[in-house]
């Protein structure tokens, strides 16, 4: 199996819309909803924010992005940082308001100045990718540092990625593997799967850390079982190569490669195809691997009625 140092693209960074506290609004009785609405109309900034989240997710009320933006604004204009962050995200995506990066950055900056770690992460993202402002990695790192030091795993992961790969492909001036390992570990220890898989990969291929199969297996397995595509590919490679004392098991390897491939991971797709093209498994063995993968997917698929389209999205600024 090749040693292919994974290209940590911008997709390994997390958008603010993926990380806003969407789940903070829990279903409650009708009386609770009435209480929230009444307090919001009287100017309670927290209840305005709560009501915005309910409209964002269709939680007890019809999903309505315009209404969500309205209540984010009511709360944001009174200085409530979480609502400022939410309104910034809505302007960034054009949800309920016209898309306007300048407005998005204005609200992120106000929230970030109050110490909101999600807004700080978002500002760093904007500066790193030149969205709504000129690209400025010094500013990106400064905001990510502030956010990461508050324990924000998305900023910790972003710093890890920066110190692992630099500002652009081939940049070695800003690579600092010690710093990368530190930030990935902090995010991984908080349960953030993309950081887990990166840390596992670094132990797997001795990138900035000593070669440690037990650490590689621990982090890759934890990431894979959380559904992280890179972790699944890494774990498949370990089964394929009999690393960390694992038996060489191509059926298990193919299971993880296939799961990774189903999420669009290029590494998983390559490794699954390699097994197929080399006829390393019989059709029956491949079918068994896919059956096991299906069981994994079923076990890790949320149950209950289909969710409404959420405020949470896959894209950002």
Domain ranges of the chain: 15-25+32-114
134 burial type by CB count under 10 A (0-12 exposed, 13-18 middle, 19+ buried): exposed
pLDDT value of position 15: 56
H-run or E-run covering 37: helix 30-41
Is 23's pLDDT higher than 90? no
Report residue 234 as tokens: 């890494």
Is 316's pLDDT higher than 60? no
Q: What is the pTM of this model?
A: 0.84
Sequential DSSP letters for 75-97: HHTTT-HHHHHHHHHHHHHTSSS
251 near 289, Cβ under 8 Å?
A: yes
Distances (CA, A) of 50 to 32, 33, 179, 211: 11, 10, 37, 47
pLDDT value of position 300: 86
Helix axes 101-113, 117-129, angle to 10 degrees: 140
Report residue 206 as tokens: 């001795």
Q: Kindly tell me the sign of the dihedral angle through the C-alpha atoms of 271, 273, 275, 278.
A: negative
80 near 43, Cβ under 8 Å?
A: no
29 — pLDDT class (breaks 50, 70, 90): low
Is 35's pLDDT higher than 70? yes
126-140 pLDDT, tens per residue?
999 999 999 999 999
74-105 pLDDT, tens per residue?
999 999 999 999 999 999 999 999 999 999 99
141 near 147, Cβ under 8 Å?
A: no
Is 7's pLDDT higher than 50? no
Q: What is the mean pLDDT of residues 277-299?
A: 97
* Mean of the per-residue pLDDT values of the chain: 89
CA 86 to chain centre: 17
Residue 27: name the closest of 315, 313, 308 by CA.
308
Is 13's pLDDT higher than 80? no
Is 17's pLDDT higher than 90? no
208-243 pLDDT, tens per residue?
999 999 999 999 999 999 999 999 999 999 999 999
Topology annotation, domain 15-25+32-114:
1.25.40
- For 118, phi then psi, to 5°, come to -70, -40
In angstroms, the CA 14 to CA 154 distance is 6
Report residue 93 as tokens: 């995506």
Report residue 239 as tokens: 């089964």
3-class secondary-structure state, position 122: helix
């Amino acid at each position: 199996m090749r040693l292919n140092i994974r290209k940590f693209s911008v997709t390994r960074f997390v958008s603010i819309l993926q990380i806003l506290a969407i789940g903070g609004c829990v279903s409650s009785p009708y009386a609770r909803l009435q209480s929230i609405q009444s307090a919001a109309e009287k100017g309670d900034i927290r209840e305005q924010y709560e009501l915005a989240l309910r409209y964002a997710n269709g939680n007890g009320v019809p999903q309505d992005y315009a209404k969500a933006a309205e209540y984010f604004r009511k709360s944001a204009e009174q200085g409530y940082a979480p609502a400022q962050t939410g309104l910034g995200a809505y302007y960034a995506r054009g949800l309920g308001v016209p898309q306007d990066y300048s407005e998005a950055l204005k609200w992120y900056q106000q929230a970030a100045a109050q110490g909101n770690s999600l807004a700080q992460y978002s500002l760093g993202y904007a500066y790193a990718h030149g969205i709504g402002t000129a690209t400025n990695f010094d500013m990106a790192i400064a905001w990510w540092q502030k956010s990461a030091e508050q324990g924000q795993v998305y900023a910790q992961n972003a710093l890890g990625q920066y110190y692992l790969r630099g500002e652009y492909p081939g940049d070695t001036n800003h690579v600092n593997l010690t710093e990368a390992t530190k930030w990935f570990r902090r995010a991984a220890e908080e349960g953030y799967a993309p950081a887990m898989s990166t840390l596992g990969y670094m132990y797997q291929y001795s990138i900035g850390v000593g070669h440690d199969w037990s650490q590689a297996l621990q982090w890759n397995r934890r990431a894979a079982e959380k559904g992280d595509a890179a972790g699944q590919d890494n774990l498949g490679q370990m089964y394929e190569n009999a690393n960390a004392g694992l038996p060489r098991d191509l059926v298990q390897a193919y299971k993880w490669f296939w799961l990774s491939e189903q999420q669009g991971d290029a590494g998983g797709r390559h490794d699954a195809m390699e097994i197929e093209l080399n006829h390393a498994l019989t059709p029956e063995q491949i079918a068994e691997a896919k059956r096991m993968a299906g069981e994994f997917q079923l076990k890790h698929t949320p149950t209950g009625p289909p969710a409404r389209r959420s405020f949470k999205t896959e894209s950002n600024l």
